[in-house]
Amino acid sequence: MSQQYSNDQDNFLNDLISNEILKNCSKENMALQQCVSINQLYKTGNNGKCVDEHIKYNDCVKNIKSIQGIMNNCKNLLQNYQSCIMTKQQEYFNETDEKEKKQKQLDASKVCFKELNELRECSIKQLK
């Protein structure tokens, strides 16, 4: 499977999830975006100023049936993917030879592609 296919699948999945969130939580999303934008505009930082908006947004997203499906039905696949990435990161950080280090960095996405693809497929099924 090519890297372009992988990126296209990522974009497709991201678009599906984003659409689900916008369809179900548009009011909460808008309130959060406005709060963050206002704080950026006036350079006030975000030091806890949008906590209520974050909580409402997160609660809304957690209650979307398709997102719940991903969290419940794809949990093991997500853990497998995270474990694979963590293992590869550990190998990368333990490597002292720069040439080998670069190779390990490039290999992480290839080695964990199976886990990532399984997670994508499961997630897409939940969103249909």
Element housing 75 (H / E): helix 75-94
Quote the CA–CA distance of 126 and 128 in Å, as a whole number: 6
| Chain centre to alpha carbon of residue 53 | 20
Cα dist from 74 to 23, 52, 80, 82, 104, whole Å: 22, 29, 10, 12, 27
Q: What is the pLDDT of residue 80?
A: 92
Contact 53, 32 (CB under 8 A): yes
In the predicted model, is pLDDT for residue 9 greater than 80? Answer: no
Instruction: Give 87-127 pLDDT, tens digit per residue.
Output: 887 887 787 888 877 776 666 557 788 888 898 899 888 88
Instruction: Give 14-53 pLDDT, tens digit per residue.
Output: 788 888 999 999 999 999 999 888 877 776 665 667 899 9
Q: What is the pLDDT of residue 60?
A: 96
Mean pLDDT to the nearest integer, 54-76: 93
Instruction: Give 74-89 pLDDT, tens digit per residue.
Output: 999 989 988 988 888 7
Mean pLDDT to the nearest integer, 68-79: 91
Helices (H), 42-64: 51-62
